[in-house]
Amino acid sequence: MEVLNQNQMYQADQMTIETLGIPGETLMENAGQAIVSEIAKNWGISTQIVVLAGTGNNGGDGIVIARRLLNLGYQVQLWLIPPEEKVRDAAKVHLELYHRHQYPVFHYGEELYPAIQQADVIVDALLGIGMAGELRPPYDRIVQEVNQSKAKVVSVDIPSGVNAEQATVSQAVRADITYTVQYPKQSAFLYPAASYYGMLQVVDIGIPPQTTDSLEYRKYTWGEKEYQSTKVERSPNSHKGSNGKGLIIGGSSYMIGAPVLAAQACIASGIGLLSCAFPNHILPIAAQKATEATFLPCREQDGNLVQVEIPGSIQVVAIGMGLGRTEQTCQLVKNVLAQDKPTIIDADALFYLNEMWGIVDNRSSVTV
């Protein structure tokens, strides 16, 4: 799944509207409809819902959500935080449509805060991906009241106060669930910002996939679909020796778990034959946890590996998990890189990588 930053999302919106001819009002209606469909799956019509709407597209989504929930018979209060004259563009169109339905709009005032505390569900449509800097009044107090309430909090696209691109957060809504529009935003995967999203769910609003084709620095997350696409179909006549041979080099006296977990993950991924180069004294423990692996005899000193002979049949090597930061580890990493096999450098082995870029640059095999 593709992940966008603020400017990339703006570009996708702009191309959808200006080049492909899908009006912004339609995208806003689609967003509201998609989120209402999800809300209806989780809460019944007796639920007391407060929708908090700011300016811009995020607030416009909130206005659509309030109207559609009211159409379904939900008990909804739409609280508009800015003055109505500050609502513009597609959001203004939907506010006018809301008025034509003769549904009430509650305007910001002290009466908002008791409504927040009495709500069962709060829909946060205050601030969208354009948020930058710290929250200003009255948004800072509103966010504080939302976080102190007992209501379930649903954020639209992004929790208000969270920057779409950055990990750091000063003050923001702590959502129970965030329905993000079309593409997840970068901060949804950067902590501590990611912790404000609650459960993240992407809703499709009809932005065509070709709108991101020309973006630079494209980023993706891997889910089950992407994982399944990498799996190689195996011949019924195959055996473990014909489905990949790997080696994990790791472990020391006080760090046994890391290399064992790496071995278990490697086996679970479907490798045909896994060999492990661990210190001899931890083999009885490791062999019980990774029963499918084979173990190579290795030289060790004071509980640390000092030499590993890599069999010529090995096709890929991973090194570093639990090795410890010793001179022996540094030399082992150099020796592995000199083999010019596809190599994963991890954990303690990364500590020495800065002094080995010349070796890495001269390798023809992949280094991760």
**What are the domain boundaries of the chain?**
2-227, 240-361
Cα–Cα distance list, 76 to 3, 48, 72, 119, 289 (Å): 32, 6, 10, 9, 55
Name residue, tokens 């407060």: 50
Helices 56-71 and 24-42: angle between axes, nearest 10 degrees:
50
Give the pLDDT band (50/70/90) at residue 256: very high
Contacts within 8 Å (CB) and 24+ apart, 348-351: 348/320, 348/321, 348/322, 348/323, 348/324, 349/319, 349/320, 349/323, 350/320, 351/325
Closest by CA position to 120, among listed 63, 75, 67: 75
Q: Which fold has domain 2-227?
A: Rossmann fold (3.40.50)
Answer for the pair 296, 226: CB distance below 8 angstroms, yes or no: no
- Helix and strand numbers, DSSP H then E, in the chain: 11, 16
The predicted pLDDT at position 95 comes to 98
Q: Sort strands 199-203 and 177-181 into parallel, antiparallel or unpaired.
A: parallel
Q: Give pLDDT tens digits for 333-363.
A: 999 999 889 999 999 999 998 889 999 999 9
Answer for the pair 141, 173: CB distance below 8 angstroms, yes or no: no
The CATH number of the structural domain formed by 240-361 is: 3.40.1190.20
Give the pLDDT band (50/70/90) at residue 269: confident
Q: Give pLDDT tens digits for 313-336.
A: 999 999 999 999 999 999 999 999
> How far apart are alpha carbons 114 and 135 in whole angstroms?
21
List the end-to-end C-alpha distance of the chain, in Å, as a whole number: 22
Residue 145 in this model has a pLDDT that exceeds 90: yes
Q: Give pLDDT tens digits for 24-53.
A: 999 999 999 999 999 999 999 999 999 999
